[in-house]
Amino acid sequence: MTDPIADMLTRIRNAFLVKKKDVLVPNSKIKLKIAEILYKERLIDKIELVEENKIKNIKISLKYDNKESVIASIKRISTPGRRIYVGKEELPYVLNGFGIAILSTSRGIMTNREAKKLGVGGEIICEIY
């Protein structure tokens, strides 16, 4: 697999389109940090690390409001073939502030709002609203 982050985002997108309660994603540090940001922004209900046959996975419980997913769209921006970097002046503004962009910066993975407060730019991983 060439893009494990895109795989994670696609699994989440497919799960909320068919109204599944949980989705399993193979574990990695960056995927766990992205899931933690989604939890902190109240876009998902719960994150658990589960282990089956010595294989660690991240179990993400999706959040629904009146049988509609809280996440309307989740889109990968920077890909392995085309990296998208922004400076601190060009940070993305997603859906007039109602959405978030997740960035990989020199200070770690964070949302566009956190990056603006810290005055750092970086690679745009994805946009969610």
Predicted pLDDT of residue 1: 74
Predicted pLDDT of residue 97: 87
**Domain end (from 52, 69, 86):** 69
Domain with 48 in it: 4-69
CA separation, residue 35 to residues 43, 48, 86, 88 (Å): 9, 10, 22, 24
pLDDT in tens, 63-102: 999 989 999 999 999 999 999 999 999 999 999 989 999 9
Predicted pLDDT of residue 83: 96
**Domain end (from 69, 86, 104):** 69
Q: Which CATH number does the domain housing residue 11 bear?
A: 3.30.1370.30
Count of the separate structural domains present in the chain: 2
pLDDT in tens, 1-47: 799 999 999 999 999 999 999 999 999 999 999 999 999 999 999 99
Structure tokens at 45: 């209900």
Q: Are residues 12 and 45 in the same domain?
A: yes
Taking the C-alpha atoms of residue 42 and residue 19, their distance in angstroms, rounded to an integer, is 17
Q: Which positions ≥6 away from 71 have C-beta within 8 Å? A: 12, 13, 16, 43, 44, 62, 63, 128, 129
Q: Which CATH number does the domain housing residue 117 bear?
A: 3.30.1490.10
Predicted pLDDT of residue 45: 96
**Domain end (from 40, 69, 98):** 69
